[in-house]
Structure 1
Amino acid sequence: MSDGPMRILCMGYCFPPVASPEAFVTSKTMAAIPDAAVDVVTAGASLFPQPPDHSLDDYVAKRFGRIERIDGTFLRALGKISRLPLRPDRYMLLTNAAAARAEAMGPKTYDCLVTRSQYHSVHAAGRQLKKRHPSLPWIACFSDPWSGGTYDRRIPLLSAFSRALEYSVLREANALVFPTAEMRDHFQSHHPDPDISDKSHVIAHGFDPELYPQSAQQRKDGPIRLGIFGTFYGPRSPRHLLEAVDRLAVDETLPDFRLETFGLGGEAFKRELAQFGDASDHVSHGGILPHTAALDRMAACDILIISDAPTPSRSIFLTSKIVDYLGTQRPLFAITPQGPTQDLIERVGGWSVDPADIAAIATTLANAIRTVAAGQAASSAAVRNEYRIDNIGRQFRAVLDRVIAEGAQDT
């Protein structure tokens, strides 16, 4: 290991100001590694269809060193072409450029390489770099499934190529990091050989207390404010939540409440809402908020809501949004199947209900509203603190120390 701080070369296509949950997760996680200097190779925000989010610009500038962003007129078309049939994803076209940019940064001067996906194609660039520098310890991190995911659509030849790349990354990386044990097991089940158990590590996403209002906000008089943040898409629909609100809107024994929603797809959400006449007076859509503004708005809510899609078996996901919610110290209500999200909600002291149980959604939400209105909601500070980003950073540092030490023994 080099003298002074650990030098880390991080490659990930989602990094601020790219407006995506993975960008926020990567910046917080990598910045929290103790006694480390982190440089980054990433994709420019112009390569993505959504407008950039500059709310973390100062946060990133204070915590990272050199940041190389890949851009170009041809590459900007990547974010504009819908349903581009590339696997594992459209950003596979960045592989050579990303590897070349990382090579120019002098990999031999770093203690380790970290690749982070969402956008699994970044691991192809990391793999190229590892081949050129076999003694450079490589840690590959996965926030989402690769093959066999909910939204995975098979394409002849391309899907086979993607699965082979996934296998190579799992086999060749020195260490693998997953946000949940269920995610780790999903990868292992799709590639039983090689056995990845010895080099797999489960490190959750974390929240940074510095990004929230520093004075605790007390509940204000008026309606109970329910907040849900994020985009509805595919099987993740607002219908079940709106059905529950529609039922509760006519319950005269219930304290007054309002549901505020934020995220992409406002027009589609409003069309869905129009089908629930009684709910309309209780629900609003606030559009898209910059990340730090969203954290502020979360902290002003009385109850924060997660609404996940139903799954045929135990879920493997712990959405990063619920970790953002933990930083607010607000009561949590989750419409979610059995899995890591439900487990966390129950541990922290919130309310959870299966998305398939429509009647229970309304009943449980009514219970949550009454409990909060009575000032009786409580949550576990000890469980919340497990997800503080400084704790997550120390866990990540321990993995890096171990992998680097093992590499030194092999040389």
Structure 2
Amino acid sequence: FFIPDARIGWLPHAVSLGQHIIQTERIDCLYSSSPPYTAALIARTLKRKTHLPWIAGFRDPWTGFLSTPVRYGIAKKIDAHLERSVYAECDRLEVAWLGIAKDFQKKYPDIDATKLLHIENGFDEADIPAVKFERNAKFTLCYTGSMYGKRSPERFLDAVRSLVRQGKVDPAKIELKFIGRFGSNIMPLFEEPTLKAAIVVKPYMPHSESVLELLRSDVLLLVVDDSSDSAEIVPGKVYEYIGTQRPILALAPEGAIAALIRETQSGTVANFRSQSEIEQAFLKYYERFWAGETLWEGNAEAIKKYTRREAAKKLATLVHKLVEIHPPTFHDTHQ
């Protein structure tokens, strides 16, 4: 039972160390990134002590989000009070996806919404080596990440299995790689006889190796959680997928991810509840691969703005503006 999260024990030491750093390094602006939400409370305390401008960054919403604890009674009220105080006291609220901004405005319509700024997660070009691989002997599709609960490959596997039974796909000519952590409800799905020989399951691996697995593949599989919140969520992995310049087969609802993939022309979106759409998308790439056609058709200019370099420029510009508005005169860290 920790509010807002299990990192709350960091707060006293982090504030003390933060005061020392601000004083010795002559810091002009504060930036926090959450979750963990304790990071925002640390920054809030430092702002109160120093009066420095503060940008509160959020990768996910706070209360009521699908990955945050369900709270009741006094615990729920305390958590909401902390959330509100952070939103109200920060100078700017930077969000990684627009759904966070919508969540903020819905919960707290009385707090000034002009402080909101959307800066996408983006991908780091340095994480994606410029390497070339031999053409795969089989049409190779890859998924990296975790799967559990409402995130499942079941509909995708059903679609591919259907194509095999229709005689449109030869299971000996495909390889389906699943790399990461998979729940006990997921592993049996990989054992069904029709596709078992085509499926390769690998455990979690270092990020650099995972990126190489993506680059060795012909198509990347993206599976969005079957949840009402999914339409607004854009995980950081989506940008990394785009950065590899491998076409994405996305099983997703209409929403932020679908719009991003269409804007960047980085793949095909199939409704995750429509087996026929999934079949069509898979078959398109399968047939084009065996016809020797180019699979990647991404829009380089559209993709460029989603690099971490561009995101850093936006953040740096914001910092400079805030420092101009709130020029530091002294850093009082002893209040």
After TM superposition, the score normalised by the length of structure 1 is 0.74
Q: Deviations 1:210-260 (Å, cap 9, x if unpaired)?
A: 222223x25614111101111113311222222223223334333621110
The secondary structure found in structure 2 opposite 1:124 is helix
**Is the CA contact (8 Å cut-off) linking 1:304 and 1:332 kept in structure 2?**
yes
What secondary structure, in the 3-state scheme, does the structure 2 residue paired with 1:408 have?
coil
Which SS does the other structure have where 1:192 is aligned? coil
Q: Which residue of 2 aligns with 1:26?
A: none
Residue 151 of structure 2 is aligned to residue 236 of structure 1: yes
Letter in 2 for 1:399: L
- Opposite residue 47 of structure 2, the aligned amino acid is K
Query: Does residue 330 of structure 1 match 2:249?
Result: no
Aligned to 1:35: none
Q: Give the RMSD, CA atoms, in angstroms.
A: 2.2
Q: Does 1:223 align with 2:142?
A: no
- Equivalences for 1:370-409 in 2 at 5 Å? 370-374=287-291, 375-377=293-295, 378-408=297-327
Query: How far did residue 387 of structure 1 move?
Result: 1.1
SS in 1 for 2:67: coil
Q: What is the aligned partner in structure 2 of residue 345 from structure 1?
A: 261
Match of residue 333 from structure 2: none
Cα deviation for residue 170 of structure 1 reads 0.5
Change in CA separation of 1:146 and 1:282 when aligned onto 2, cut-off 3 Å: same
Shift of residue 207, structure 1, vs aligned partner: 1.6
Residues 261 and 286, structure 1, Cα contact 8 Å, conserved in 2: yes
Instruction: Give the whole-Å Cα distance in 2 for the aligned partners of 1:257 and 1:300.
Output: 14
Please show how residues 158-177 of structure 1 align to structure 2 within 5 Å.
158-177=75-94
What is the CA–CA distance in structure 1 between the aligned matches of 2:78 and 2:229, rounded to whole Å?
27
Q: Distance in 2 between matches of 1:357 and 1:289?
A: 31
Q: 2:7 aligns with which of 76, 84, 91?
A: 91
Looking at structure 2, the residues matched to 305 and 235 of structure 1 have their Cα atoms a distance apart, in angstroms, of 16
The one-letter code matched in structure 1 to 2:174 is: F
Give SS of 1:315's match: helix
Is contact 1:207–1:389 with CA below 8 Å preserved after alignment? yes
SS across alignment from 1:116: strand
How far off is 1:204 after superposition? 0.5
Whole-Å Cα distance in 1 between the matches of residues 290 and 268 of structure 2? Answer: 15
Deviation at 1:138, TM superposition (A): 0.7
Q: Which runs of 5+ in 1 are unaligned?
A: 1-84
Relative to 1, partners in 2 of residues 1:293 and 1:398: Cα closer, same or farther, differing over 3 Å?
same
Native 8 Å contact 1:246 1:277 kept in 2: no
Q: Within 5 Å, give how 1:8-407 maps onto structure 2.
A: 85-107=1-23, 109-134=26-51, 136-152=52-68, 153-195=70-112, 197-215=113-131, 217=132, 220-254=135-169, 256-265=173-182, 268-274=185-191, 276-312=192-228, 315-349=231-265, 350-374=267-291, 375-377=293-295, 378-407=297-326
The one-character-per-residue Cα deviations of 1:103-153 (angstroms, maximum 9, x if unpaired) are 23234710111100121121111111111111x111110011112212341
Q: 121-130 vs 354-363, which deviates more? A: 354-363
Q: Is the partner of 1:230 in helix, strand or coil?
A: strand
Q: Secondary structure at the match of 1:253?
A: coil
Higher Rg:
2
1:189 Cα deviation after fit: 0.8
Distance of aligned partners of 1:363 and 1:232 in 2 relative to their CA distance in 1, 3 Å threshold? same
| Helix, strand or coil at the partner of 1:144 | coil
Q: 1:373 & 1:277 partners in 2: Cα distance?
A: 24
**Residues of 1 paired with 2:63 and 2:56: CA distance?**
16
Question: Structure 1: how far apart are the matches of 2:65 and 2:252?
Answer: 17
Q: CA deviation at 1:403?
A: 1.5
Q: Deviations over 1:315-371 (max 9, x none)?
A: 211111011112211111100112111111112221001212233222322223223
Q: Report how many aligned residue pairs link the two structures.
A: 323
**C-alpha distance 240-370 of structure 1, shift in aligned 2 (>3 A):** same
User: Cα–Cα, structure 1 residues 158 and 228, in superposed 2: closer, same or farther, change >3 Å?
Assistant: same
Post-superposition offset of 1:205: 1.1
Highest relative contact order (Cα 8 Å, sep 6+), 1 or 2?
2
Distance in 2 (CA, whole Å) between partners of 1:205 and 1:388 is 8
Secondary structure in 2 matching 1:184: helix
Matched residue of 1:383: which SS? helix
Q: 1:251 to 1:344 in 2, by over 3 A?
A: same
User: Which residue type is aligned with residue 329 of structure 1?
Assistant: Q
Q: Return the alpha-carbon distance in structure 2 between the equivalents of residues 88 and 261 of structure 1.
A: 34
Q: Is the 8 A contact 2:93 2:116 kept in 1?
A: yes
Which amino acid in the other structure matches residue 391 of structure 1? E
Matches of 2:148 and 2:44 in 1, distance apart? 32
Letter in 2 for 1:206: G
Structure 2 counterpart of 1:220, which letter?
A: R
- Could you tell me the percent identity over the aligned residues? 23
Partners of 1:372 and 1:340 lie apart in 2 by 28
Change (3 A) 1:266 1:165: closer
